[in-house]
Amino acid sequence: MLGKLLKYDLKALSRILVPVHIAALAVGLGAAACFFGVHMFDSSYGSWNSSSGFGTSMLVMLAMTGAFFLFALFMASAATLFAIVHRFYRNFFTDEGYLTLTLPVTANQHIASKVIAAMVWVLIDALIVGFCGYFASIAAMGFSGDFDETIPYFMLVSSFGFSDIVSFVSFLVAAATAAMQALTMVLTAYAAFALGGALASKHKVAAGIGLFFALSWAAGLIHSIKSVFIATGFAYDSTFGYEAMNVMSSGVSLVLYLVTAVVFYAICVFVIDRKTNLS
């Protein structure tokens, strides 16, 4: 039955997210074209600007359009999360919930299907947005730059702190941490809206949004405390380098994300199984 649920959830999400990510690909290509145009105009700036300000005007217009396209590209990730959470809430806490909860499946199967479908689309979104960001970055350098000069590289470095993200161990730890972070984010949203939908008699969506920010803030605080403790420990013992500190920090983060994900998953199953009130 889990397979049938998963197929149904993937189909429902795909109706929304396939068009969104086709648009994201188009926007990414548009950003790449704009930034390549900036590169070309910048390379021949003197000849274009010698007799008029046409070159400057084109540079500004292309750069601003490319920046707008990039902003729209990253909004695809926000749209993905919104669609995932909306699907979850609609399935359990609207009139559709009456039908959902009469199916001969357990709460665990319901949540497992939602989580797997969500992570499939989070992965697709990361690949598409990452590719478009990479393509736009190398286009801005006239298709002659290296990976360590692109937007995805700097996003990975800024997120996980590795000085050499290309190294195999760093890449594996960063990829695992990113996957667990995404899973935890999805389950945080699920748990927040499950609790909001089950406990609030009115304004359930507002309660879910408030709980999502509260739970996210609490999780962020825990990770900040973790980072301070690890950084302080390495400050007293400088035997290991900066890279080792970041690998250790990401390893601890993996454990924290895993524990958080398990707790929020259990909350979702409990709420759907015992506390769901559609009245």
For 248-266, how does the pLDDT look when each residue is reduced to its tens digit (9 = 90+)? 666 777 888 888 899 999 9
* Predicted confidence (pLDDT) at residue 115 exceeds the cutoff of 90: yes
CA angle 34-156-223, nearest 5°?
135
In angstroms, rounded to a whole number, what is the distance separating the alpha carbons of residues 45 and 132? 27
In angstroms, rounded to a whole number, what is the distance separating the alpha carbons of residues 164 and 244? 12
| Averaged confidence pLDDT in the chain | 78
What does the pLDDT look like over 2-22, one tens digit per residue?
788 888 899 999 999 999 999
Label residue 214 by pLDDT band (50, 70, 90).
very high
In this structure, which long-range contacts are made by residues 116-120, counting pairs with CB atoms below 8 Å and at least 24 apart in sequence? 116/6, 116/9, 117/6, 117/9, 117/10, 117/13, 117/84, 118/13, 118/84, 118/88, 118/186, 119/179, 119/182, 119/183, 119/186, 120/10
Residue 204 token pair: 């359930």
What does the pLDDT look like over 57-95, one tens digit per residue?
777 787 888 888 888 888 898 999 999 999 998 888 887
Q: How far apart are the first and last CA of the chain?
A: 27
Label residue 231 by pLDDT band (50, 70, 90).
low
- Packing angle, helices 204-236 and 54-93, rounded to 10: 110
Question: So what's the pLDDT on residue 164?
Answer: 52
